[in-house]
Amino acid sequence: MSEDLKPTYVEKGQEFNRDMRYIPDRVTKDGRVPERGPVNGKLWPVEPGRYRLIAAKACPWATRAIIVRQLLGLEDVISLGTPGPTHDKRSWTFDLDPDGRDPVLGIERLQEAYFERYPDYPRGITVPAIVDVPTGQVVTNDFPWITHDLFFEWQDHHRDGAPDLWPEALREEMEQVMERVFTEVNNGVYRCGFAGSQESYDAAYDRLWKAMDWLEDRLADRRYLMGDTITEADVRLFTTLARFDAVYHGHFKCNRNKLTEMPNLWGYARDLHSIPAFGENTDFDQIKAHYYVVHSDINPSGIIPAGPDPAVWLEPHGRG
């Protein structure tokens, strides 16, 4: 989903509500009607080398897609473009690349891929986004279905031994867990950070910490959210936990305590971070630069804090 480039902030006295309207197209095997999920847009065929995933490592929603792509071994099948951590109101930009252009698409702003397909695209230019390389047009930015379909629709191209991110026997419970993680934690930190009144902040804060305590308890007797193996649920939770102490604790006022003060969640987060797909795609400098610079209403000085020390993430997790 990423940070919506339209104003994220709410009017005084209002509660934050995220705009969940995305381009509903999906990439499926042979362009088939998928067995799971909505079909409200165009169906595009799986085709190795055709698509480029645009995903900023600063953004939690986009980093999910980067992690799943690497876990499944799709690096040589779907290319990756990574915008820089800061942007203006128009679009994410490719300022990390030579000459400030994506080397495959040749564009300076992700906005160009959106406008190539929708000249009057009315909503935020968000990441993650899948772009059709031959036409330069955005395909979809519907973030939960992007990772879902990387697993279900691209299975012919997964690496040998790729993890089963959606175990069939656990899917019903997993959907419930992921829904609670999304509404109460992934989106809950934003509900705190962008609250427009004391009352809405207090309610958001209580909801967040109720869910955090539930997760702490859940992880007391299991290694991962669904048991002994990694699933999509872990990917979805991890990107929020990775940003918690560096950003959400102070910047978003989620400050009852730090992640490092919750033994089960902290050990779990370090356990995941030790896996290359998670740790290699967690860039604390980019994360902090994004939130503390882009959210100028919350941090008008634009000063990026020096801490916390990322070395703590390398300490033994003790979850084996």
Write down the pTM of the prediction: 0.95
Q: Where residue 304 sits, what CATH number does that domain have? A: 1.20.1050.10
Determine how many CB atoms are found less than 10 A away from the CB of residue 299. Answer: 16
The whole-number pLDDT of residue 6 equals: 38
Domain boundary among 157, 182, 204: 157
Give the amino acid at 30: D
Are residues 152 and 84 part of one domain?
yes
Are residues 184 and 135 part of one domain?
no
The whole-number pLDDT of residue 37 equals: 94
Question: 212 near 265, Cβ under 8 Å?
Answer: yes
Run of H or E including 45: strand 43-45
Active site residue 192: no
DSSP type of residue 137 = E
Are residues 90 and 184 part of one domain?
no
Q: What is the largest CA-CA distance in the chain?
A: 52
List 22, 51, 59, 268, catalytic entry: 59
Determine how many CB atoms are found less than 10 A away from the CB of residue 101. Answer: 16
Per-residue pLDDT reduced to its tens digit, 203-259: 999 999 999 999 999 999 999 999 999 999 999 999 999 999 999 999 999 999 999
User: Could you tell me which residues are annotated as the binding site?
Assistant: 92
> In terms of residues, how long is the chain?
320
Reported as a pLDDT band with limits 50, 70 and 90, residue 7 is very low
Task: Look up the domain containing 209 and give its range.
Answer: 168-314
Are residues 306 and 232 part of one domain?
yes
Domain boundary among 133, 157, 181: 157
Per-residue pLDDT reduced to its tens digit, 9-56: 455 556 777 778 899 999 999 999 999 999 999 999 999 999 999 999
Active site residue 254: no
For helices 143-152 and 60-71, angle between their N-to-C axes, nearest 10 degrees: 0
List 190, 201, 248, 292, catalytic entry: 190
Distance in Å from the first CA to the final CA of the chain:
32
The whole-number pLDDT of residue 246 equals: 98
Distance CA 57, CA 239 (A): 10
Order of strands across the sheet that contains 51-54: 79-81, 51-54, 129-132, 137-140
Reported as a pLDDT band with limits 50, 70 and 90, residue 165 is very high
User: Could you tell me which residues are annotated as the binding site for glutathione?
Assistant: 92
